[in-house]
Structures are given as structure tokens and as C-alpha cells.
Amino acid sequence: MVVASIRSEKKRGVDELPIIDLSGKSSDVSRLIVRACEDYGFFKVVNHGVPNEIISKVEEESLKFFAKPASEKQEAGPANPFGYGCKNIGFNGDIGEVEYLLLSTNSLSISQRSQSISTEPLKFSSAVNSYVQAVKGLACEILDLMAEGLWVPDTSVFSRLIADVESDSMLRFNYYPLLKHGRDWDTSPLQTHHRVGFGAHSDPQILTILRSNDVGGLQISLDDGVWVPVTPDPDAFCVNVGDLLQAMTNGRFVSVRHRALTNSYKPRLSMAYFAGPPLQAWVTSPPEIRSNEPTLYRPFTWAEYKNAMYSLRLGDCRLDLFRIHPHDHIAS
């Protein structure tokens, strides 16, 4: 697969993504989160409670790794699915201008992986584990607020899947190096030219907590198919709905397609915590959410969804495979 450059796609500016202050009144915050998940599938959170020291340490450790010579980085790969990867995304031919580290959030797994990632494995694993615990707590808090805003009596209906000791959550470091070829960058004031670092996709898990350095590149695709740039914000986390959460809210929340572009002036580092349930957990929407509406997705396990995900290309719409069609309702 040849990596396509971006020359003449539709892009437009819109109002900034919703920025939600988590220090506000719980009922107000939950209402704003629900609205953001329905309208955008993406939002930012500030006053999130994750200490800057924890963020800066894990950023520092990951950048040390990506600064290594290629031969040393390869010792942490190939990604299968965990480990180091370069350009190859997944197993079905998708390619991007990106280097990455994909880790299980299991502390023992992180400790073992650190041996091939860092010359100071204890320092690396300590920084990663501290970050994982912090963003996991943030994800659980946000999921509880979502349930509250949806008027679900059991507000831990989503978060307990993440809190479970068997939770299949992941942490991904994506490093987007500078464009190296002059022809890949148009410096004219009328048009800037990037290349795709990570192609258009939705996230398969329940929720994603994303942190990036102060470099642009993230874009989301709204209903009209226009790519909308997301302004980087060093004080905020981006939060986006995953495929499983769209299914668990019976389509009320939207798992939005997004992508990342490279640039020619500064490398971009992003850290994505993918909050996933245990492999054998059943994915279905609570009856309070469905109310009198028809059920849009059949029940399935996370393991079943992952198998489907690994069989498809990055940009394929996996959730459609589990959608209930009108004739299915009639047949039942």
C-alpha cells in the first residue's frame, strides 16, 4: 500500500471541540459529556486530576525510546500485536508515517516489555504504570458521569468493565517523525500539505483517553465527511467514544472516524489509553438506554469483536457486522 499525501481534501474550521471542566457540578458535567458524545463523539477535559509530573515522565521515557537508532528499536518488535512497529499498522496491509509502541496495561506485561524497550527498564515501567493507573481512573470517572447523564441507575455499568482485573485495555505511543522530502510539503499560504501518519479509523474499545504534545495533526470526520482539525491543548486530554460504547448506548453515542497527519516542522507524540473490557465480557446496551427504541446491535463479546477487527482493514466499519437489520426484527 502506498501512503497517500493530502493535497485537495475538504477541510473546514468549526468551533472548538467541547471543553469540559471536570471540577464542575456532577449533574452539569454529566449532561455536557452526554451532549458532546452525541454531537461529536469527541471532547476535551480539563481539571482532570492527572498530575503533570506523571504525564511528563512517561512522555520523557517514550521519547527516549523513539530517539534510539532503528536497530535498537527493532529489538522491541515486531508488534504482534504488542511491541514496536514502524509504518505497518495491523496485519492487513495498512501503512502510515508512524512509529509506535503498543503495550498491554497489565503491570507484569509492562515490566517484561520494558526489558527490550529501555536501558533503564524499572524507570520506564514505573513511569508507564503510574500513567496507566492515572488515566484508568480518569476513564472510570468519565464513564460513571456518562451513565449518570444517561439516567442509568447503575452508574458503574460501563466503568466496572475497565476496573475489572481482566480488563483488556492497551496503551499506545505513536511517534510521527518529520516529513523528510521537500515535495511532501507545500509551504504556500494558500495550501499546506501533510501526509497521513495514521489513516482514518474509529477506535474499537469503549473509550479512548488521548494525550499529545503541543503539535497539531489530529483530525475528526463529521457527518458531512469534512475533516476537522483538533487544536492541541497541553492542559487537556482528548476523549473519544469507541465502537463498543456506541453499541452499549444503542447508537446514541457516536464512535467517530479520525486520523493523524504528519508535518515538516516538529515531530508529534501521542499517547492513547484504550479502555477495553475483559475478552469474554458481553457488549450490550442497558434497558434504560434502549427504552422503547429497537435494539441496534446484537449482543457480542469483546473477543468476538477483536477477531472481526483483526480480519479487516484499518478503515473498515467493523460495527456494521454486528448491527441488527430491520428484517431481523421482523423475523424475531
- 13, amino acid identity: G
Q: One of 257, 259, 268, 318 is an active-site residue; which one?
A: 268
Helix (H) or strand (E) holding 55: helix 52-66
Provide the 10 A C-beta neighbour count for residue 123.
15
Cβ atoms of 235 and 223 within 8 Å: the answer is no
DSSP state of 289: H
Q: What is the rounded end-to-end Cα distance, in angstroms, of the chain?
A: 43
The DSSP bridge partners found for residue 73 are: none
- Please give the torsion angle defined by the CA atoms of residues 90, 95, 101 and 103, in that order, rounded to the nearest 10 degrees: -20
Residue 268 appears among annotated catalytic residues: yes
Q: Are 241 and 253 in contact (CB under 8 A)?
A: yes
Could you say which DSSP state residue 235 is in?
T
Residues acting as catalytic residues: 268
